[in-house]
Structure 1
Amino acid sequence: MGQTKTSFRWKLAGLMFFISFISYMDRVNLSVATPTIMQELGFTKMDMGFIQTAFFVGYAFMQIPGGIMSEFWGHRRVLAIAATWWSAFTVLTGACSNFTSFVLARSLFGIGEGPMAPAFGRFIYRWFNNNEKGRASSFMLSGVFFGPVVGPTLTILLMMNFGWRSVFIIFGGVGLLLAALWYYLAKDTPHDSKFTNAAEADYIEEGLMAGSDKKELAPWRAFLGSSQFWAIGIQYFITDYIMYVFLAWLPLYLIEAQNFSLQKMGIAASFPWAALCIVTATCGYISDKLVASGVSRHKSRTLFGILGLIICCITLYLGAVATVPWLNVLWLTISLGSLGFTFNASWAACLDIGGKFAGSITGWMNFWGNMGGIAAPVATAWVATNYGWQAAILTTAASAVIGIVAWLAVKPDRPLVLKENNNLEKIA
């Protein structure tokens, strides 16, 4: 009788969910506290836009290096150091008192969070069977998107009782504890873990490319000549751009454009993120089931990616022209929720085409996504300041068209690195 395999990989997936959750709480807390910080310190929308952008500059800068480091030094060490770094600067955000200190703290915070996504990409590649990667990715993404679900309400509760500075101190402390837990539990390979048995480790590594643990630099010159390499970056620029418009400005938009009170805003702002969290988790399960049943990765990834952006574009427009505040929230909820199709497809496709260089490919994709994060706060602030909130939402909706076109060039059935019979590698 064969050995019954353990399921420790899913416990690590749960830990990945909580780390992702805390990392996004650390981000969304600033946007929720924005009205209070603006009032207390006299900042303008443009000031807050630049402070938000400072994070994304540091974050985007570390995406590709984070992927390379994860492949050379392992996801265990890289993520533990990154989480310790970003948690320390989350705490220091609570001590900021002027524009310069905010910009410095948030840019260094972004540098710390930068390696997280590439390290998780490498972790998913090494710890999950080929038929589980969509679901595993959904744990990370659901954690990311669950932060803004509870973030507004929890942050406002803490702000009302202890002040806005307490929010950053508390969540930074939790992040430090999770960093230590990850380092203790998450070995670089399943065979190195005392919590997995041979049956689980062997199952995870079924179909794994030979030499996956060999430390080598990804063939970047060849990657840069691939159209799908550029396409997966461009579509993610648009997807993240839209998402970061919500992350950076939804609370203030609901207060200024829809006349919500601070308490009602906390509730209303959580609905779009709850929808995104639910759709992302559901899509991960469905996508893996489709692949396991023989449906091509093109259909289960690319078509999902395009579908999400189409729905997002239409419902953002409907939200922008809605005249009833809670109807506006409904359309915005459907709009952000629909991006769950695209986010899950993006990460699953990234692992499909990246193979053993999953860390580098996810770093590349997330680099472009966070170039969208750099653009979103300031661009949206400029449009809203000069032309109003409706124009800002309509501009965001129009950007989805670029992402839809880019998805047509993403071909998850064609990995960037193929293994030939003579054991040499080539770029697809």
Structure 2
Amino acid sequence: MATLGGSNVSELNNRPVITQTKTNFRWWFSVALWVLLLVSYIDRTNISIAGPSMIKDGVVTPAALALANSLFLFMYGLSNIFGGFLSDRFGPRKIALVALTWWSLMTLFTGVIWSSAALILSRVLLGLGEGMHWPLNSKWVKSWFPAHERARANMFWEFGLTMGPIITGPLVTWLIISTGTWKTPFILLALIGIIIMLPIIWKIAKDRPEESKYVSKEELAYIQAGRQDEVTGSVVSVGEVLRKWDFWLLLINWSGMATVFYGILFWLPSYLMKVRHLSLHMTGFWYMLPYILMTICIILTAFASDKLMKRSIFASIGTFIAGIGLFLGTHSGNLVLAMILISISSAMNGVVLPTIWSSLQRMFPSQNVGAGAGLLNGLENIIAAVGTYILGISFSIGFPYLIIFALIGGISGLILAKRGY
């Protein structure tokens, strides 16, 4: 059996000899992955803006909305796990087509819900489809990019995570206000997924660059020369993964940041309206700020991380700042200062994201990177679901929980950095 990547592997020596290619289709492919995640994140985050309107119309209760968001994350986490194994078994392209179709239909279902029970069911089913997405992208990056480009490749598709909420705030707010109903955003976005994204993925997404007619021989040789960092051997079992301390350190670090991120993602609008007493219009504006800053963080971190070939030190510092920023922001009496600090806290996800996934892609062999990504992101989302639910029930209890978890995640990242990641 293979073992997970050791910390004594020097990635700095794994640079390809070939420096020129006739095509750079791998980067265009990463743009397609970005758009796919963009659609996915708008589909899942529109509930943050539409949720208060659902409650106001008497369609759902606040408790049901909190439960629906947490169950979404829980199902999303489980779906990550088996989605990763399915992508290793059948290839990411087939699973992506099925997942995209499924979550688009479930987005449409959310747009016609009639009760709290229907909302909870729609969010559970949405999580089932969307959870397969992250391990697919990680498997694609492992196959399509040499080691020294992977943080930047992860940066490209992770732009969907930051741009999704940036677009969600003003777009969903405008659609609700202009049409007079919270149903419009769900119906429109479901149609975008089915009519636009399905043909794109069908046309250009291949499991490996060797299968793409758009990749030249020179580009393929360049990619293959940069795969020297891959862990070789046979399939790694789940038991081997779960017995590896490095995996658990990575999971705790990622969960600390994700708990903060998802808490802000799902509950910032409600916090601003209930605690800060802002209007829906102003809430949509402030909702964008964390993700604008996160986009900047992703770009800077990806380039710096690929240059220095250091991953976990970035993830650790980012998670510490997330916890400290959230503490200061929720205790500030000044709205502008509070929003800047909370936005910085959420933006640190842009520091953690490209480095966490680059470490994961180094840690697992090609045969198992989908399963490894599924386990990491799946368990992380299940863990984050707890914090999201607590925050939805009580801001006074939820925010301290998020802050403490972030600090624990930062410590875990420091230990992982000391182990060479």
Alignment match, 2:286: 268
> CA 1:412–1:118 in 2, change beyond 3 Å: closer, same or farther?
farther
Alignment match, 2:304: 286
Is contact 2:49–2:169 with CA below 8 Å preserved after alignment? yes
- Is structure 2 residue 41 aligned with structure 1 residue 24? yes
Q: What is the TM-score when the length of structure 1 is the normalising length?
A: 0.89
Question: Higher mean Cα deviation, 96-105 or 392-401?
Answer: 392-401
Is contact 2:255–2:383 with CA below 8 Å preserved after alignment? yes
Deviations 1:271-308 (CA, angstroms, capped at 9, x unpaired): 011111221122112211222xxxxxxxx211101110
- Is structure 2 residue 355 aligned with structure 1 residue 345? yes
Q: Structure 2: 5+ residue runs without aligned partners? A: 1-17
Matching residue's letter, 1:367 = G
> CA 1:6–1:413 in 2, change beyond 3 Å: closer, same or farther?
farther
Deviation of 1:409 (Å): 4.1
- Equivalent pairs counted in the alignment come to 401
Within the candidate set 367, 370, 383, 1:359 is matched to 370
Matching residue's letter, 2:204 = L
Within the candidate set 86, 102, 110, 2:127 is matched to 110
Question: Higher mean Cα deviation, 262-271 or 49-58?
Answer: 49-58
- Secondary structure of 1:41 counterpart: coil
Alignment match, 1:421: none
- Secondary structure of 1:131 counterpart: helix
> CA 1:361–1:413 in 2, change beyond 3 Å: closer, same or farther?
farther
Matching residue's letter, 2:260 = I
Is contact 1:301–1:412 with CA below 8 Å preserved after alignment? no
Counterpart CA distance in 2 for 1:204 and 1:114 is 28
Alignment match, 1:404: 410
Counterpart CA distance in 1 for 2:418 and 2:82 is 24
Alignment match, 1:424: none
Q: What pairs up with 1:146-165 in 2 under 5 angstroms?
A: 146-162=163-179, 163-165=181-183
Deviations 1:297-345 (CA, angstroms, capped at 9, x unpaired): xxx2111011101111211111011101111111111111123212222
Alignment match, 2:3: none
- Secondary structure of 2:394 counterpart: helix
Deviation of 1:411 (Å): 5.6
Is contact 1:239–1:369 with CA below 8 Å preserved after alignment? no
Counterpart CA distance in 2 for 1:399 and 1:235 is 9
Counterpart CA distance in 1 for 2:411 and 2:225 is 34
Which structure has more relative contact order (CA 8 Å, sep 6+)? It is: 2
Alignment match, 2:331: 321
Alignment match, 1:62: 79
Question: Higher mean Cα deviation, 205-214 or 255-264?
Answer: 205-214
Deviation of 1:211 (Å): 9.9
Counterpart CA distance in 1 for 2:264 and 2:142 is 30
Deviation of 1:3 (Å): 7.3
Alignment match, 1:196: 215
Alignment match, 2:9: none
Deviations 1:73-130 (CA, angstroms, capped at 9, x unpaired): 1111111111111111111110101011111111111111111000001000000111
Matching residue's letter, 1:326 = V
Within the candidate set 180, 204, 213, 1:185 is matched to 204
- Secondary structure of 2:311 counterpart: helix
Within the candidate set 221, 225, 230, 1:206 is matched to 225
Alignment match, 1:296: none
Matching residue's letter, 1:22 = V
Counterpart CA distance in 1 for 2:66 and 2:20 is 56
Is contact 2:145–2:226 with CA below 8 Å preserved after alignment? no
Q: Structure 1: 5+ residue runs without aligned partners? A: 292-299, 416-428
Counterpart CA distance in 1 for 2:327 and 2:229 is 48
Q: What is the TM-score when the length of structure 2 is the normalising length?
A: 0.90
Is contact 1:228–1:409 with CA below 8 Å preserved after alignment? no
Is contact 2:99–2:132 with CA below 8 Å preserved after alignment? yes
Q: CA RMSD in A?
A: 2.2
- Secondary structure of 2:225 counterpart: coil
Counterpart CA distance in 1 for 2:232 and 2:210 is 12
Is contact 2:87–2:136 with CA below 8 Å preserved after alignment? yes
Question: Higher mean Cα deviation, 120-129 or 176-185?
Answer: 176-185
Question: Higher mean Cα deviation, 169-178 or 24-33?
Answer: 169-178
- Is structure 2 residue 265 aligned with structure 1 residue 247? yes
Counterpart CA distance in 2 for 1:155 and 1:140 is 22
Counterpart CA distance in 2 for 1:213 and 1:84 is 34
Is contact 1:93–1:168 with CA below 8 Å preserved after alignment? yes
Is contact 2:320–2:409 with CA below 8 Å preserved after alignment? no
Alignment match, 2:14: none
Alignment match, 2:191: 173
